[in-house]
Amino acid sequence: MIRLCKKCGAKNRIPAQHLADTGKCGSCKATLPAESGPIESDPDLFDEVLRNAKVPVLVDFWAEWCGPCRMAAPDVHAIAEEMAGRAIVLKVNIDAHPELASRYGVESIPNFVVLKNGRTVSQNAGLSSRAEMRRWLEAA
């Protein structure tokens, strides 16, 4: 994954195993904080994160046309910020990547899957609050 340094604008490649770590810009050596936002994921990035993540991963399966998904988006973003360094949040658009939705048996959205060490810890369909998402991640 490529992240821009907020200080100098340099592009930094961050391997999946370090998305939850604090690092340094390769150019100016400024601190690069842990990933603090939901990451739009394709199958390659999804698999890389699951193989290498040292922290729990919350996956939000969603679609642009889904009203409840749009309602959940602010809480998904907030939980990504709140849990930065302790969890990774991925977003998977089921219209763009139906194979990922099928892999997890997603039949209704929004659908939230929590994974740890590549294994499903919990799966919850329907609109959920930030507090519920936090509980799922903390339990993992």
Q: What is the pLDDT of residue 59?
A: 98
Does the active-site annotation cover 8? no
Catalytic residue among 5, 25, 28, 69: 69
Catalytic residue among 5, 8, 25, 66: 66
Does the active-site annotation cover 28? no
Calpha distance 114→36 (Å, rounded): 17
- Residue 19 CB partners (closer than 8 Å, separation 6+): 1, 34, 35, 39, 49, 53, 88
Element (H, E) at 119: strand 119-125
**CATH architecture classification, 36-139:** 3-Layer(aba) Sandwich (3.40)
Stretch(es) of the chain classified as CATH 3.40.30.10: 36-139
What is the pTM assigned to this prediction? 0.93
pLDDT 10s digits, 25-66: 999 999 999 999 999 999 999 999 999 999 999 999 999 999
pLDDT 10s digits, 72-81: 999 999 999 9
DSSP state of 17: G
pLDDT 10s digits, 111-125: 999 999 999 999 999
Calpha distance 25→28 (Å, rounded): 6
